[in-house]
Amino acid sequence: MQTLKLKFVDVYTKVCDFLGQPSPDEDQIQNAKDITLRAYRKFLMPLDSSTGKTYRWSFLQKTTTMAVVAGNDTYTLPIGFSGFILPFTHISPLSYNPVEKPLDFIYLQKSITTGSGYPRWYALKNGNFDTISGDSSQVIFFPVPSNDITYYYTYIFTPQPPVNDDDLFVGSEFASEIVLQCALAVAEIFEKDGVSGQIQGLHNTEYEKLVQQAIGEDKRKHQVSNLGQMYNGKKDFDFIRSSSIYLNSSQIIP
Instruction: Indicate whether 24 and 96 sit together in one domain.
Output: no
Instruction: Indicate whether 77 and 107 sit together in one domain.
Output: yes
pLDDT confidence of 193, banded at 50, 70, 90? Answer: low
Instruction: Indicate whether 64 and 140 sit together in one domain.
Output: yes
**241 belongs to a structural domain:** no
pLDDT digits (tens, 9 = 90+) for 73-92: 999 999 999 999 999 998 77
Domain boundary at 127, 158, 189, which?
A: 158
d(CA 48, CA 45): 9
Instruction: Indicate whether 48 and 138 sit together in one domain.
Output: no
What does DSSP say about strands 223-229 and 61-68: parallel, antiparallel, or unpaired?
A: unpaired
Instruction: Indicate whether 43 and 107 sit together in one domain.
Output: no
Instruction: Indicate whether 46 and 68 sit together in one domain.
Output: no
> Can you give the pLDDT at residue 14?
97
**215 belongs to a structural domain:** yes
**253 belongs to a structural domain:** no
What is the CB-side half-sphere exposure of residue 182 using CA atoms within 13 A? 25
E-assigned strands of the chain?
47-48, 53-54, 61-68, 74-76, 81-89, 99-100, 116-117, 121-126, 137-142, 144-145, 149-157, 223-229, 242-246
**230 belongs to a structural domain:** no
pLDDT digits (tens, 9 = 90+) for 85-121: 999 998 776 667 999 999 999 999 999 988 899 999 9
**227 belongs to a structural domain:** no
Domain boundary at 158, 188, 209, which?
A: 158
Instruction: Indicate whether 136 and 123 sit together in one domain.
Output: yes
**249 belongs to a structural domain:** no
CB 146 within 8 A of CB 95: no
> Can you give the pLDDT at residue 42?
95
Please tell me the total count of domains within the chain: 2
Domain boundary at 158, 187, 202, which?
A: 158
> Can you give the pLDDT at residue 245?
35
Q: Which of 113, 109, 92, 93 is nearest to 101 (CA)?
A: 109
**77 belongs to a structural domain:** yes
Instruction: Indicate whether 65 and 147 sit together in one domain.
Output: yes
pLDDT digits (tens, 9 = 90+) for 21-64: 999 999 999 999 999 999 999 999 999 999 999 999 999 999 99
pLDDT digits (tens, 9 = 90+) for 214-253: 999 999 987 644 333 333 443 333 333 333 333 333 333 3
**233 belongs to a structural domain:** no
pTM across the whole model? 0.77
Containing structural domain, residue 127 = 58-158
| Inter-CA distances, 195 with 15, 16, 236, Å | 14, 14, 69
pLDDT digits (tens, 9 = 90+) for 176-189: 999 999 999 999 88
Instruction: Indicate whether 45 and 62 sit together in one domain.
Output: no
Instruction: Indicate whether 33 and 107 sit together in one domain.
Output: no
Residue 167 has pLDDT above 70, yes or no: yes
| 18: phi then psi, degrees, rounded to nearest 5 | -65, -35
Instruction: Indicate whether 65 and 38 sit together in one domain.
Output: no
d(CA 202, CA 175): 19
CB 187 within 8 A of CB 223: no
